[in-house]
């Protein structure tokens, strides 16, 4: 394969997350500075997510080689343990983004990773882990020198991609690239034809506004949108602006989008430095036959589960406590990465 050929040249594209999966990839909590004394609680939370997803599809947990015995004990015999060098535990962002050709073949893409705009130092292993996973799978690898995390995008599998200006146009990602150049890179590697630009993500989100905390495609022509109940909440005006953008947008097939609002958790938690802890129900994992959804011991947990059930009819809604994951800076979608079903193409 010529290095000049792109994934789009070869007919590959990123499928929607609700398409059939071969497995789910995760990375075990590793960075002590993120979790501090709560690291044991993070272990338990990740293991519970892995087991919950494992009831519907295979799960592969990447961990540092020295943690292998501990991870096997925590996750149980049904979870595959994959010892590889890693720095942190957010597989959505450091893991590969898988692609399909619609003919039963699967390949992968590896983008540049800089720990959310150099928010953390020492990320060399995470910058390499996507390639190691693809090598392990014997899978063709499309590389791109643009900084991109999987949590910063959502696709419908029919040519439409959704992201935020706050993240992808941020100077801490690709300051040398114009919006047009970024759009071209997304189109050529992920096979998309239309990009919907939202404005900002959640307040105090250390990812600089990842879209997977606020909005996601939940079916062809349907978008789930995070929405606070309180009009005085700083996130309210942000989400109202995003709602206007979605209502004015068209997907790649020229259709209007149905926007389904899902409530923001009512309770507000603070990090030790006083910044708001980001919690979101949008940040769920769509598994084979199920949606594994975070809950936060919150009055809106049940209402959010009802909305999720409406958005994904026919799938079981499995709720998993996620406050310990949120304490690290994300939620269930952030710690998972789906591998579509299909034959690995080398």
Per residue in 153-206, pLDDT (tens digit) is: 999 999 999 999 999 999 999 999 999 999 999 999 999 999 999 999 999 999
Per residue in 282-299, pLDDT (tens digit) is: 999 999 999 999 999 999
User: 164 has which bridge partners?
Assistant: 198
Instruction: Name the DSSP class of 276.
Output: B
What does 230-247 look like in DSSP terms, one character per residue?
-TTSHHHHHHHHHHHHHH
The structure's pTM equals: 0.97
Sign of CA dihedral 297, 299, 304, 305: positive
Question: Order of strands, edge to edge, in the sheet holding 258-263?
Answer: 215-217, 222-227, 258-263
User: Domain 21-344 maps to which CATH number in 2.40.50.100, 3.40.50.300, 3.75.10.10, 3.10.180.10?
Assistant: 3.75.10.10
- In whole angstroms, what is the distance from residue 165 CA to residue 116 CA? 14
| pLDDT for res 2 | 42
H or E stretch including 112? strand 105-112
Catalytic residues: 334
| pLDDT for res 34 | 87
Q: What angle do CA 82, 85, 87 make, to 5 degrees?
A: 115
User: Which residues fall within 8 angstroms of residue 303, CB to CB, at 6 or more apart?
Assistant: 263
What does 251-268 look like in DSSP terms, one character per residue?
-TTSPPPEEEEEEPPS--
User: Which residues fall within 8 angstroms of residue 101, CB to CB, at 6 or more apart?
Assistant: 10, 11, 12, 13, 107, 345
Show the tokens assigned to 185. Answer: 């890179």
- In whole angstroms, what is the distance from residue 139 CA to residue 149 CA? 20
List for the chain the helix, strand, coil content (%; round to 5): 30, 25, 45
């Amino acid at each position: 394969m010529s290095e000049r050929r792109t994934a789009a040249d070869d007919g590959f594209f990123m499928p929607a997350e609700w398409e059939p999966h071969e497995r789910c990839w995760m990375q075990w909590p590793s960075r002590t500075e993120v979790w501090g004394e709560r690291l044991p609680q993070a272990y338990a939370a990740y293991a519970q997510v892995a087991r919950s997803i494992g009831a519907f599809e295979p799960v592969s947990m990447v961990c540092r080689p020295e943690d292998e015995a501990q991870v096997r004990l925590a996750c149980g015999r049904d979870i595959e343990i994959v010892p590889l060098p890693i720095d942190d535990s957010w597989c959505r962002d450091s893991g590969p983004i898988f692609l399909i050709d619609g003919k039963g073949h699967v390949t992968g893409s590896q983008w540049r990773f800089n720990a959310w705009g150099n928010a953390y130092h020492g990320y060399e292993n995470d910058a390499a882990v996507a390639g190691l996973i693809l090598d392990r799978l014997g899978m063709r690898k499309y590389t791109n020198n643009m900084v991109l995390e999987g949590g910063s995008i959502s696709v419908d599998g029919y040519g439409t991609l959704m992201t935020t200006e706050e993240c992808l146009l941020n100077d801490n990602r690709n300051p040398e690239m114009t919006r047009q150049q970024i759009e071209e890179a997304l189109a050529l590697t992920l096979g998309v034809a239309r990009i919907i630009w939202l404005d900002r993500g959640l307040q105090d989100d250390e990812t600089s506004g990842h879209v997977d905390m606020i909005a996601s495609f939940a079916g062809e022509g349907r978008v789930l949108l995070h929405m606070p109940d309180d009009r005085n909440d700083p996130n309210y005006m942000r989400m109202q602006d995003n709602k206007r953008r979605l209502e004015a947008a068209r997907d790649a097939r020229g259709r209007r989008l149905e926007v389904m609002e899902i409530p923001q958790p009512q309770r507000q938690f603070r990090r030790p430095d006083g910044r708001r802890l980001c919690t979101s129900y949008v940040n769920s994992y769509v598994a084979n036959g199920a949606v594994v959804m975070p809950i936060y011991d919150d009055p809106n947990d049940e209402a959010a589960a009802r909305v999720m059930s409406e958005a994904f009819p026919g799938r079981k809604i499995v709720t998993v406590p996620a406050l310990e994951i949120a304490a690290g800076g994300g939620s269930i979608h952030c710690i998972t990465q789906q591998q579509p079903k299909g034959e690995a193409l080398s």
